[in-house]
């Protein structure tokens, strides 16, 4: 199974179509993309923190949704209109200091829907910080 877009191509598409995700400085990075999975990185800074100094839930949700979008683009090609239809996230542990890593895998790839899961960890830590599942709707021309 081969990818339709590599890491650099997906990154360039995100920069073009969604420059706002890195407004204020680049914080979301694609570590790698392989068939059926990817790893995204959030270099959390002050704009991602909530009171108490922990990474906010919305920042982790963004990491999960972005990781899902990245693997879907890599799999189906430059279809900017693939959209999230659902995102469920469970926050499990307080993130440790440093980067957050979102490891995303495709669970099911249908003609119109793609379902993924995302495990979020603090870099260097084994315990999950959060676990998410997402479903994306894919326009018909993408298949």
Handedness of CA 14, 134, 106, 39 (dihedral sign): positive
What is the C-alpha separation between 111 and 135, in angstroms, rounded? 13
Q: Which domains does the chain have, with CATH numbers?
A: 7-142 (3.10.129.10)
- At 22, the pLDDT band (50, 70, 90 cuts) reads confident
**Of the candidates 135, 127, 121, which has an alpha carbon nearest to the alpha carbon of residue 60?**
121
**More confidently predicted of 131 and 19:** 131
Which positions ≥6 away from 51 have C-beta within 8 Å?
none
Is residue 143 predicted with pLDDT exceeding 50? no
- Can you give the pLDDT at residue 90? 98
- Can you give the pLDDT at residue 7? 96
Model-wide pTM > 0.85 = yes
- Can you give the pLDDT at residue 47? 77
Is residue 1 predicted with pLDDT exceeding 70? no
């Amino acid at each position: 199974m081969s990818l339709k877009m590599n890491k650099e191509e997906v990154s360039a598409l995100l920069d073009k179509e969604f420059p706002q995700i890195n407004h204020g400085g680049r914080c979301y990075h694609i570590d790698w993309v392989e068939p059926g999975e990817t790893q995204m990185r959030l270099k959390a800074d002050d704009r991602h923190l909530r009171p108490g100094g922990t990474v906010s839930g919305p920042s982790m949700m963004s990491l999960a949704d972005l990781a899902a979008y990245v693997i879907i683009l890599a799999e189906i090609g430059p279809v900017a209109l693939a959209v999230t239809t659902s995102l469920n996230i469970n926050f499990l542990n307080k993130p440790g200091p440093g980067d957050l890593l979102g490891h995303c895998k495709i669970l099911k790839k249908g003609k119109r829907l793609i379902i993924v899961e995302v495990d979020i960890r603090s870099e260097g830590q084994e315990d999950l910080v959060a676990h998410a599942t997402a479903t994306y709707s894919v326009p018909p021309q993408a298949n």
